[in-house]
Amino acid sequence: MAVDTQTVEKLAELARIAISEETIDEVGNRLGEVLQLVDQLQAVSTEGVAPMAHPLDEVQVLRADEITESNRREEFLALAPQSEGGLYLVPKVID
C-alpha cells in the first residue's frame, strides 16, 4: 500500500531531503512497495530473541591516550563550499 503524501512529507522533513510535488506520489508508491517487502518480518515470532545490532561480540582494544592526529584544519576547511576566518559559513540562523 502506498505511503500517503502527508507521511512522505513528514519523512522528507525529518530526513531533510527536498522532494518535488510532482514526484511525491511516485515516492510514496515506491516506499509502500519496500514497506510491503519488509512487512514479511511481522509473520515470524521473535519472542524472547535478543536484538542483534552487530555481527561480532568483540571487546574493544584499549590504547594509550596519546595525541596521534596532526592539526589539518586548513585542509579540511578548504573542502567546505563556504568558509571564513577558519569557520564554516551557513545562512544566518539567528535574527
Closest approach of Cβ 46 to another protein, in Å? 4
Instruction: Name the one residue in this structure whose C-alpha cell is 544566518.
Output: 92
**Subset of 39-68 contacting another protein (CB under 8 A):** 39-42, 44, 46, 49-56, 58, 60-61, 63, 68
Query: Given 3-state DSSP classes, what are the helix, strand and coil percentages for the chain, each rounded to the nearest 5?
Result: 40, 5, 55
How distant, in Å, are the alpha carbons of 12, 16, 31, 68, 75 from that of 78? 30, 25, 37, 22, 5
Contacting residues toward another protein, per CB under 8 A: 3, 7-8, 11-12, 14-20, 27, 30-31, 33-42, 44, 46, 49-56, 58, 60-61, 63, 68, 72, 75-76, 78-82, 88, 90-93
